[in-house]
């Protein structure tokens, strides 16, 4: 129901004409849900009916009811899945890292990217040999939070 | 209670349910399309909301980035909003003769206009920052365009309740959303000056030319002359680390003509779209001018190389469309090193000592120096 509400809110903005159409769409979806629920219940009933018929020895009737029941349940679940399918809004967080290397002793450091970094930029001095270090790579890494 | 109902009145109930059941099938038969339309409308509606969020975020990012460099020039918002609605009318191609120069002129005018606007709204920005601001604005402009088109089909679909109107956009939604998300990441990359996937080619050239003198040879294009195994290699790339692309075609033409066409080979390295199943960052070699865009540079390169019968070889660094505009991944970065090795092998195998080779690193050079 939450997304029905969302839909209502989203569609509800704008002119009166828009609101009327929004209401019409929301009510159509509501009817559709009721219809699917009904279909599901009837599907369950037919499965039960199939079991009853099988117990009484009516194999043909049981088969017919079972088919109807399975179709009903299957169709209602499928249609519900279709309606609930939403566009993912999940963002994959990515971490940008900067690799710095010493041009003399090849000391390598990897740190988080900071604004102003660019590839092949001379940066801080090497802690080992006091020579200027060079940014050799900037790339993204997927974080575990995703 | 249910058992007694089913036991005593089972036959009547069974008949009612069978009728209802058959009616439901009839309902599906006659209203199936409407149900499908409603389902699709809901899906597109959800995408429109997401696109609006991305569009608004990129607009906010543009405003924040520009405000940083234009504190004394007032609120840039109205001007940015005007720029987000900026359009370009492509030249008419009824008579294709002379189409490319017209297109080139149009691109130049648009570029100049954007640069002037940025100068007005962000007067304190330097050359690199101005280029990055341009990138941020282009992203915001792109996202605004995507949102408006999808929203147009969504509203049109709601108005007409026509399955085929809404289906047009619904079928493309996964690709549209992926593109919009990548654009959104690109906006952040431009704002912060991070290299993007498209810059892989530029990075190859940058690594090759690093440490040697360079000069501007065409608009936003730098060139270095290096020696490699006895060959003279002119390495060309856009002026980094700002978000520049530059006029590669003009630069290559100039080099070839300056050397009276005595160039043994042109090697172009660029990011190329991969197919699903191909590995990101993998490299491939081919023939022809490996360069994207609207085709102006490719046209000039093809003209001049065919005139002087100069072979054009290409090295492509594979990546998805989303990766090409998003911050560069580790896989693409590793692909750059492989591409350099391939370039060196091509030079070694296909040319001889004393030859002149032109190496072009194509792509947006944001976050890539030289």
A49 shares contact with chain B (CB less than 8 Å): yes
Please answer yes or no on whether B330 and A119 come within 8 Å at the CB atom: no
pLDDT digits (tens, 9 = 90+) for B27-44: 778 888 888 888 889 889
Closest CA to B157 of A86, A11, A5: A11
Residue to mutate among B241, B319, B324, with most A CBs inside 10 A, is B241
Q: Å from B9 to nearest chain A CA?
A: 13
| Pair (B338, B205) in one structural domain | yes
| Pair (B130, B72) in one structural domain | yes
For chain B, how many structural domains are there in total?
2
| Pair (B162, B297) in one structural domain | no
Please answer yes or no on whether B24 and A38 come within 8 Å at the CB atom: yes
* Residue B3 maps to a domain: no
Chain B residues 39-58 with CB within 8 Å of chain A: 39, 41-43, 45-47, 49-50, 53
Chain B residues 207-226 with CB within 8 Å of chain A: 207, 210
What range defines the domain where residue A110 resides? Answer: 94-142
Chain B residues 85-124 with CB within 8 Å of chain A: none
Q: Is B125 helix (H, G, I), strand (E, B) or coil?
A: coil
| Pair (A25, A73) in one structural domain | yes
Q: Å from B194 to nearest chain A CA?
A: 7
Please answer yes or no on whether B241 and A118 come within 8 Å at the CB atom: yes
* Residue A60 maps to a domain: yes
* Residue B112 maps to a domain: yes
Task: Give me the interface pTM, i.e. the ipTM.
Answer: 0.82
| Pair (B161, B244) in one structural domain | no
Of A32, A49, A72, the CB nearest to B14: A49
At which of A65, A84, A103 does a domain end?
Answer: A84
Q: Is the pLDDT of residue A37 over 90?
A: no
Cα gap A100→B193, rounded to integer Å? 17
| Pair (A73, A25) in one structural domain | yes
Q: Which residues of A68-89 are buried (b: 16+ CB within 10 A; e: fewer)?
A: bbeebbebbeebbeebeeebee
Sign of torsion over alpha carbons A45, A48, A53, A56: negative
| Pair (A103, A138) in one structural domain | yes
At which of B192, B219, B240 does a domain end?
Answer: B192
At which of B192, B216, B240 does a domain end?
Answer: B192
| Pair (A55, A7) in one structural domain | yes
At which of B159, B192, B225 does a domain end?
Answer: B192
| Pair (B205, B354) in one structural domain | yes
| Pair (B307, B357) in one structural domain | yes
| Pair (A71, A6) in one structural domain | yes
| Pair (B157, B261) in one structural domain | no
Query: In sequence order, what E strands does B201-282 have?
Result: 214-218, 221-228, 231-238, 265-273
| Pair (A7, A52) in one structural domain | yes
Of A21, A113, A141, the CB nearest to B194: A113
- From residue A9, how far is each of A103, B44, B56 by CA, in Å? 59, 16, 19
| Pair (A29, A77) in one structural domain | yes
pLDDT digits (tens, 9 = 90+) for B94-135: 888 889 999 999 999 999 999 999 999 888 889 999 999 999
Residue to mutate among B10, B11, B45, with most A CBs inside 10 A, is B45
List the CATH number of the domain containing B316: 3.40.50.1470
Cα gap A53→A65, rounded to integer Å? 9
* Residue B12 maps to a domain: no
pLDDT of residue B1: 46
* Residue B322 maps to a domain: yes
Cα gap B70→B120, rounded to integer Å? 8
| Pair (B175, B207) in one structural domain | no
| Pair (B67, B183) in one structural domain | yes
What range defines the domain where residue B148 resides? Answer: 33-192
Query: In sequence order, what E strands does chain B have?
Result: 214-218, 221-228, 231-238, 265-273, 283-287, 312-319, 356-361
Cis preceding-peptide flag for B241 (omega within 30 of 0): yes
| Pair (A79, A37) in one structural domain | yes
Q: What angle do helix axes B173-192 and B163-170 make, rounded to 10 degrees?
A: 40
At which of A84, A105, A121 does a domain end?
Answer: A84
Determine contact, residues B289/B314, Cβ cutoff 8 Å.
yes
pLDDT tens over chain B, length 370 residues: 444 545 555 677 777 777 877 887 787 788 888 888 888 898 899 999 999 999 999 999 999 999 888 766 678 899 999 999 999 999 998 888 889 999 999 999 999 999 999 999 888 889 999 999 999 999 999 999 999 999 999 999 999 988 899 998 999 999 999 889 989 988 989 999 999 999 999 999 999 999 899 999 988 899 999 999 999 999 999 998 999 988 999 999 999 999 999 999 999 999 999 999 999 999 999 999 999 888 999 999 999 999 999 999 999 999 998 899 889 999 999 999 999 999 999 999 999 999 999 999 999 999 999 8
pLDDT digits (tens, 9 = 90+) for B299-315: 999 999 999 999 999 99
| Pair (A80, A116) in one structural domain | no
* Residue A89 maps to a domain: no
Of A21, A87, A88, the CB nearest to B158: A21
For chain A, how many structural domains are there in total?
2
* Residue B163 maps to a domain: yes
| Pair (A62, A101) in one structural domain | no
* Residue B27 maps to a domain: no
Q: What average pLDDT does the structure give for chain B?
A: 90
* Residue B369 maps to a domain: no
* Residue A78 maps to a domain: yes
* Residue A10 maps to a domain: yes
Q: Is A129 helix (H, G, I), strand (E, B) or coil?
A: coil
* Residue B78 maps to a domain: yes
């Amino acid at each position: 129901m939450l997304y029905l509400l969302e839909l209502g809110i989203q569609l509800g903005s704008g002119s009166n004409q828009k609101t009327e159409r929004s209401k019409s769409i929301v009510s159509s979806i509501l009817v559709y849900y009721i219809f699917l629920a009904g279909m599901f219940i009837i599907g369950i009933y037919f499965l039960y009916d199939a079991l009853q018929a099988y117990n009484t020895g009516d194999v043909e009737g049981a088969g017919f009811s079972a088919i109807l029941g399975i179709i009903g349940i299957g169709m209602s679940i499928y249609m519900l899945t279709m309606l609930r399918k939403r566009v993912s809004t999940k963002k994959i967080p990515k971490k940008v890292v900067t690799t710095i290397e010493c041009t003399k002793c090849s000391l390598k450091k990897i740190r988080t990217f900071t604004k102003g970094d660019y590839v092949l930029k001379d940066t801080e001095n090497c802690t080992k040999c006091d020579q200027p270090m060079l940014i050799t790579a900037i790339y993204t890494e997927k974080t575990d939070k995703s | 209670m249910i058992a007694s109902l089913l036991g005593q009145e089972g036959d009547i109930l069974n008949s009612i349910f069978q009728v209802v059941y058959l009616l439901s099938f009839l309902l599906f038969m006659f209203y199936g399309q409407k149900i499908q339309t409603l389902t699709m409308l809901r899906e597109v509606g959800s995408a429109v909301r997401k696109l609006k969020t991305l569009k608004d975020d990129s607009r906010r990012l543009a405003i924040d980035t520009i405000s940083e460099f234009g504190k004394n020039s007032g609120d840039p918002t109205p001007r940015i909003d005007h720029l987000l609605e900026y359009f370009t009318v492509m030249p008419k191609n009824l008579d294709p003769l002379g189409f490319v120069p017209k297109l080139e002129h149009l691109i130049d005018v648009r570029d100049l206009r954007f640069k002037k606007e940025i100068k007005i709204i962000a007067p304190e920005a330097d050359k690199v920052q101005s280029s990055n601001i341009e990138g941020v604005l282009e992203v915001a402009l792109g996202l605004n365009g995507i949102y408006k088109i999808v929203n147009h089909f969504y509203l049109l679909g709601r108005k007409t309740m026509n399955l085929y109107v809404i289906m047009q956009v619904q079928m493309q939604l996964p690709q549209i959303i992926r593109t919009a998300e990548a654009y959104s990441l690109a906006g952040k990359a431009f704002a912060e000056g991070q290299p993007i996937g498209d810059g892989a080619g530029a990075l190859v050239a940058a690594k090759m030319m690093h440490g040697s003198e360079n000069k501007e040879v065409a608009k936003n294009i730098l060139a270095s002359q290096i020696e490699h195994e006895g060959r003279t290699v002119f390495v060309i790339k856009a002026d980094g680390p700002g978000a520049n692309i530059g006029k590669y075609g003009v630069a290559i033409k100039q080099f070839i003509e300056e050397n009276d066409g005595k160039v043994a080979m042109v090697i172009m390295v660029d990011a190329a779209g991969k197919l699903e199943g191909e590995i990101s960052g993998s490299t491939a070699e081919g023939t022809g001018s490996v360069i994207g865009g609207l085709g102006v540079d490719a046209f000039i390169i093809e003209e001049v190389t065919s005139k002087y019968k100069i072979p054009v070889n290409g090295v492509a660094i594979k990546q998805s469309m989303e990766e090409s505009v998003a911050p560069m991944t580790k896989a693409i970065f590793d692909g750059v090193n492989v591409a350099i090795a391939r370039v060196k092998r091509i030079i070694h195998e296909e040319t001889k000592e004393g030859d002149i080779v032109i190496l072009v690193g194509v792509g947006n050079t944001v976050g890539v120096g030289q």
